Amino acid sequence: MFPFMKFTDGTITVRAFEFGDEENLHAAIKESLPELSPWMSWANESYTLETARNFVAVTRAHWSNGSMYSFAIVDANTNEFLGGCGLSHIHPVYKFCNLGYWVRTSHHGKGIAGRAAKLIAKFAFEKANLIRAEIVIAVGNEASKRVAQKVDAHYEGILLNRMTVGTAIYDAHMFSLLPSDFGLVAKL
């Protein structure tokens, strides 16, 4: 579908995961488990370097067949690994997707998630022919809700039993980003 891509705003760069990211990815997740694990099912004590290796390989395969686009977030100047974000659950008919993000704990509070969200939403609309990106946030995840608000995502309400994390079931806030938010025209 697409070659592996990268985008930058001068402060952060988002780029397709690369072989060689495994150790940085693993270290960032280990560092951030207390903040990640309440909200992401994959973030738990059993996340190993091998898990990171598998993730990088699988995610590159998904990118190549157009089913999911996962990006590493790195510092645009130092290349330090900062987190991950991506477009998943891409609907082939209705052309919407889920937009997700996480940032390593040592770099929280610097606006990184919002920067990443904007860069990959633009990719979704400009390159991937999508017309809607959904940011689905468990009720209670105030930091993520704040990110969605700060990128001026449209708030559409609360969906019941819309999210699971491990065995926990959550209602979820639904936010959306649209091509028009980036001065683009939605077209099929």
Ligand X SMILES: CC(C)(COP(=O)(O)OP(=O)(O)OC[C@H]1O[C@@H](n2cnc3c(N)ncnc32)[C@H](O)[C@@H]1OP(=O)(O)O)[C@@H](O)C(=O)NCCC(=O)NCCS
Q: Which member of 39, 47, 69, 96 binds ligand X (CB under 6 A)?
A: 39
**Residue 36 engages ligand X in binding (rule: CB under 6 A):** yes
Q: In the complex with ligand X, which residue's Cβ is closer, 45 or 93?
A: 45
**Residue 130 engages ligand X in binding (rule: CB under 6 A):** no
How many whole angstroms separate alpha carbon 84 and alpha carbon 29? 10
How many whole angstroms separate alpha carbon 145 and alpha carbon 143? 5
**Residue 56 engages ligand X in binding (rule: CB under 6 A):** no
Q: Which member of 1, 58, 61, 143 binds ligand X (CB under 6 A)?
A: 143
CB of 53 to ligand X, least distance (A): 22
For residue 138, the one-letter residue type is: A
Q: Which member of 112, 128, 133, 177 binds ligand X (CB under 6 A)?
A: 112
What is the full DSSP assignment across 101-151? EEE-GGGTTSSHHHHHHHHHHHHHHHTS--SEEEEEEETT-HHHHHHHHHT
How many whole angstroms separate alpha carbon 5 and alpha carbon 93? 24
Q: Which residues bind ligand X (CB under 6 A)?
A: 35-36, 39-40, 100-103, 108-114, 137, 141-144, 146-147, 150
